[in-house]
Chains A and B, each alone.
Chain A
Amino acid sequence: MIDPRREAVIERINRIPHVIPVLSSKGGVGKSLTSTGIAVLLSQMGRKVGLLDLDFWGASDHIILGVSVDEFPEEDRGILPVPKCGLKFMSVAFYTRNQPLPMRGSEYTDALLELMAVTRWDDVEYLVIDMPPGLGDPFLNLISFFRKGHYVVVTTPSPLSVMALKNTIHMLKEQKIDIVGVVENMSSQESLKEFLDEQGIRHLGNIPMINDIDAHMGDCEKFASSEFIKHLRRPVERIAELIG
């Protein structure tokens, strides 16, 4: 049996000039907020941006942006990502209707291939990808399909996250993947600067703990005006400068 989707996925990926996967092997560090924030800020800078939520087991970007999943995305010779907050958005949540999606790793791979094969990003210049945590099938698929991506790693200053950060950097370096840099979340200072300098990895900036972030979710304007976005602006400007 020959799987026709792989060829379609490779071709669709090759049409996108800049892919920015946002990841961490540790959960709960703020990947979804960071990736959604990067997409919103790049869009505010006038770039044509897509946001793809690949966290199939815990899709949440639609909640941050306030995207309703009550309707399926439109079809036109493929599936059209949903326009929202000036960007194009795609998530498995449109098809699960917020129901749990229990899947094995091989099934995750099938779902990824299917979604990537039929989603039309068209004129998108920057595709930001929100990844699930861990170094399992989703991560291995990611580095296999998006070898030319500009990876952003998210961490907190907690020793529990730093260990995961070290492992993520190790894996990306081993695979000769471009790491644009690290965003240090829930941190009042750049406490990991020295550690990252030693690793030869850029510290893109820190975002302090934002206590009222929940009140800024579910609406584009509210999210865009949050303290979180204010602090993420400089790291995103640096990402844009670095990848062009």
Chain B
Amino acid sequence: MHEWALAEAVLKTSIKVAKERNIKKLSEVEVVLGQLQDVDKEILEFALENMKKGTVADSAKFEFIEEAAEFKCRNCGNVWRMNDNPIDDAIIKEAVHFLPETIHSFLRCPNCGSADFEVVKGRGVYIKSVKGE
């Protein structure tokens, strides 16, 4: 599962931020999960719980915040949400799961048909906050 690679990235970055901020023990890490990438939260959480052992994040709680995907067309200005036009095709879902930017290969603005749109919210995995002492 490539969620393990994403978990590794989240953990290593959290540890790096802790070091930069002189945090000896991480207590909480807020992780945003964008709807577009459709990451499996359970696998990500399982991977983080496994990998954090023996690190500064050993007792940290990973909080997950799900963010709905929203798009804005650069051609006509139309704003729409992924929930308005869910992706049904399993292959496209899988491609976007691995590489969210491939959405530009498969999705068009529902108003003008342009492929030039911005993913305003809910693209992928980000760290919102890192707390500790």
Contact = CB atoms under 8 A, between A and B. Distances in A.
Interface of A: 1-8, 11, 56, 72, 75-79, 92, 95-97, 99-104, 107-108, 110-111, 114-115, 117-118, 120
Contacts of B95: 72, 95-97
Contact of A114 (B94, B100, B106, B130): B100
B115 A95 contact: no
Contacts of B132: none
Question: Chain B contact residues: over half helix, strand or loop, or mixed?
Answer: helix
Contacts of A77: 1-2, 4-5, 8
Contacts of A4: 6, 9-10, 12-14, 125-127
Contacts of A2: 13, 17, 126-128, 130
B105 interface: yes
20 contacts: A1-B128, A2-B130, A3-B127, A4-B9, A72-B98, A77-B2, A77-B4, A77-B5, A78-B2, A78-B5, A96-B95, A97-B95, A99-B106, A102-B104, A103-B104, A117-B5, A117-B9, A118-B2, A118-B6, A120-B5
Contact of A103 (B8, B101, B124, B126): B101
Given A7-B12, A117-B9, A101 B127 contact: no
Interface of B: 1-2, 4-6, 8-10, 12-14, 16-17, 32, 91, 94-95, 98-102, 104-106, 115-116, 123-128, 130
B101 A111 contact: yes
A6 B16 CA distance: 11
A79 B127 contact: no
A109 B17 CA distance: 22
B105 A100 contact: yes
A70 B1 CA distance: 19
B127 A1 contact: yes
B17 A110 contact: no
A72 to B, nearest CB: 6
B64 to A, nearest CB: 13
A92 B102 CA distance: 8
A16 B127 CA distance: 27
B4 A99 contact: no
